[in-house]
A = this chain, B = another copy of it.
Amino acid sequence: MKRNLLLTTLLSASVFTATFAQETVDQAMVQKIREEGLNHSQVMKTAFYLTDVSGPRLSGSPGLKHAQDWAVSQLKTWGLANAGLESWGKFGKGWEVEKNYAAITVPYYHAIIAVPKAWTPSTAGPIKGDVVLIKADTITDLDQYKGKLKGKIVITDTKTALVRSTKPDLSRYTDEELEKMAAAQPAAAGDRRGGPQNSPAFAAMRKLRALRTAMSEFFVQEEVGLVLSQARGTDGTVFTTNGASYAEDAKPVAPELETSGEDYLRIVRLLNGGINVQMEADVQTKFFTNDLNGYDVIAEIPGTDKKLKDQLVIIGGHFDSWHGGTGATDNAAGSAVMMEAMRILKAVNFKPKRTIRIALWSSEEQGLYGSRGYVANHFGDPKTMALKPEQAKVSAYYNLDNGTGKIRGVYLQGNQAVAPIFKSWLEPFKDLGASTLTISNTGGTDHLSFDAVGIPGFQFIQEPMDYNTRTHHSNQDTYDRLSEDDLKQAATIVASFVYNTSQRPDMMPRKELPKPPPAPAN
């Protein structure tokens, strides 16, 4: 502490000193970053290229490749060093949609809203036929359909009516909600999500999954023409699922359309009412096997301090998306913000002590593979906790992957020691609504890959907006859903966090190193 107090005295009067901690924040630099980030932003232009121009960025797809090449080129143009694609490991097959047409023709014509399920094959050219309602609660129920389904279009009664929410689609955190988050207690050790694995609910799920697998194989065997499944969503919004397997040796599956609820249920009601339904469809998809590897976009602003330049500050977010829309809020938003944060730092002519690195991951949607592979290649193996030397050199990793909403604060991921540091860093952004720190963990995205090997990894708290209600993994995740003001605020705050992490004398404090998980019983 003594050295910092000395430094504080020596620094110019314009530097703000937190009264309770040694964390200093360079207000002049914060102002420069704010000016560039809020008044000269290019974040929407970046987002335009990642979404409208590239199209969907599904893992392994040409759309992802296009966007990755553009991002590398753009980062170079902004003056970043060592920009390129780095393989994180083997992914599997690419896939994209080449034609998507389906319509009810009997009892009358109606073109449906639907999205081909990821990694499913084409129909056998344009097809026409009866729609068959499959009634099967158990595997043996399928026997009655043997030899009757060739070329047909199949559907099941999901018994899932559409319910209109009474809440608005769009929301922002209220002060009460933020206060509640800030007051949250740390998660107890051994807390487990979901119920015990021997509960009746779990058994029912396992049975249902077994039935679905059996039906899937049956449909392939019986040469079904097309499968319709009911997508979550209403009003023309289609939430797609995680798709079929992309593995090199994936089992064959039938062509499948994830169908809007309104269209799906209309067909089911007609069939349940004894009315014959016929459809026509032409679904063409393409698989890519020339390069089965997955890649992350990497670029840097090299460090300049003799002692500290080997240390790293890493920011990132996942770059891949689902394919119904253009993955605008998930996660072109986070990707564009991280790219913009780097651009801001170059634009204000920042010469960092530590090396700043941006990493835009692929295949997060399939299981955080892009960041997990990168971490395994560079820093360590969370399965054994065998660590590489570089693990000791990463001060922090910052992630953005919760939509287009602005930053309200940070999830501390159980790391209490960083709380006063972040508090000081957020102070200059109180006017922009960012001041909440919560000890809680948040899951489901790439900071977990770093946290798993003992590197401080953080996801920011972002406004919910219409992420869960309309955009997350849906065909409505488009550029229209992006909020420019929110993205500008986020890029500004991220740039400021990067600046602070780079320039502070010490690395960010770490939690206790995770223990390797117990070896599985054999």
Residues 154-182 of A at the B interface (beta carbon under 8 Å): 161-162, 164-170
Among A246-254, A355-363, A471-479, the stretch that binds chain B is: A471-479
* Residues of B contacting A56 in the complex (Cβ-Cβ under 8 angstroms): 108
* Residues of B contacting A325 in the complex (Cβ-Cβ under 8 angstroms): 262
A165-B168 Cα distance, complex, nearest whole Å: 7
A63-B52 Cα distance, complex, nearest whole Å: 38
Given A168-B169, A235-B235; 11 other pairs, CB 8 A cutoff: A52-B266, A52-B270, A52-B273, A53-B107, A63-B108, A97-B109, A162-B480, A164-B466, A169-B169, A261-B480, A265-B479
When C-beta atoms are compared, the residue in chain B nearest to A55 turns out to be B108
- B52, B54, B269, B476: the one within 8 Å of A236 (CB): B476
When C-beta atoms are compared, the residue in chain B nearest to A260 turns out to be B236
Residues 450-505 of A at the B interface (beta carbon under 8 Å): 466, 470, 475-476, 478-481
Q: Does A321 contact B (CB under 8 A)?
A: no
Q: Does A15 contact B (CB under 8 A)?
A: no
Q: Does A111 contact B (CB under 8 A)?
A: yes
- B103, B168, B262: the one within 8 Å of A476 (CB): B262
Q: Does A62 contact B (CB under 8 A)?
A: yes
Q: Does A145 contact B (CB under 8 A)?
A: no
- B52, B110, B164: the one within 8 Å of A269 (CB): B52
Q: Does A78 contact B (CB under 8 A)?
A: no
Closest-CB distance, A228 to chain B (whole angstroms): 16
* Residues of B contacting A113 in the complex (Cβ-Cβ under 8 angstroms): 113, 236
* Residues of B contacting A162 in the complex (Cβ-Cβ under 8 angstroms): 480
**In the complex the two chains form, is A101's CB within 8 Å of B101's CB?**
yes
* Residues of B contacting A238 in the complex (Cβ-Cβ under 8 angstroms): 236
**In the complex the two chains form, is A235's CB within 8 Å of B53's CB?**
no
**In the complex the two chains form, is A236's CB within 8 Å of B475's CB?**
yes
Q: Does A98 contact B (CB under 8 A)?
A: yes
Q: Does A293 contact B (CB under 8 A)?
A: no
Residues 400-429 of A at the B interface (beta carbon under 8 Å): none
* Residues of B contacting A107 in the complex (Cβ-Cβ under 8 angstroms): 53, 55
A235-B96 Cα distance, complex, nearest whole Å: 22
* Residues of B contacting A184 in the complex (Cβ-Cβ under 8 angstroms): none
Q: What does the 1/0 interface line of A52-77 toward B look like (CB < 8 Å)? A: 11111000001100000000000000
* Residues of B contacting A166 in the complex (Cβ-Cβ under 8 angstroms): 168, 170
A496-B169 Cα distance, complex, nearest whole Å: 38
Residues 239-276 of A at the B interface (beta carbon under 8 Å): 260-262, 265-266, 269-270, 273, 275
**In the complex the two chains form, is A161's CB within 8 Å of B237's CB?**
no
* Residues of B contacting A48 in the complex (Cβ-Cβ under 8 angstroms): 269, 273
- B96, B103, B236, B478: the one within 8 Å of A99 (CB): B103
- B63, B97, B478: the one within 8 Å of A262 (CB): B478
Q: Does A100 contact B (CB under 8 A)?
A: yes
**In the complex the two chains form, is B108's CB within 8 Å of A100's CB?**
no
* Residues of B contacting A270 in the complex (Cβ-Cβ under 8 angstroms): 52-53
A266-B477 Cα distance, complex, nearest whole Å: 12
A234-B236 Cα distance, complex, nearest whole Å: 9
Closest-CB distance, A61 to chain B (whole angstroms): 9
* Residues of B contacting A260 in the complex (Cβ-Cβ under 8 angstroms): 236
**In the complex the two chains form, is B111's CB within 8 Å of A100's CB?**
yes
Q: A52-B273, A161-B480, A478-B262 are in contact. Are A108 and B62 (CB under 8 A)?
A: yes
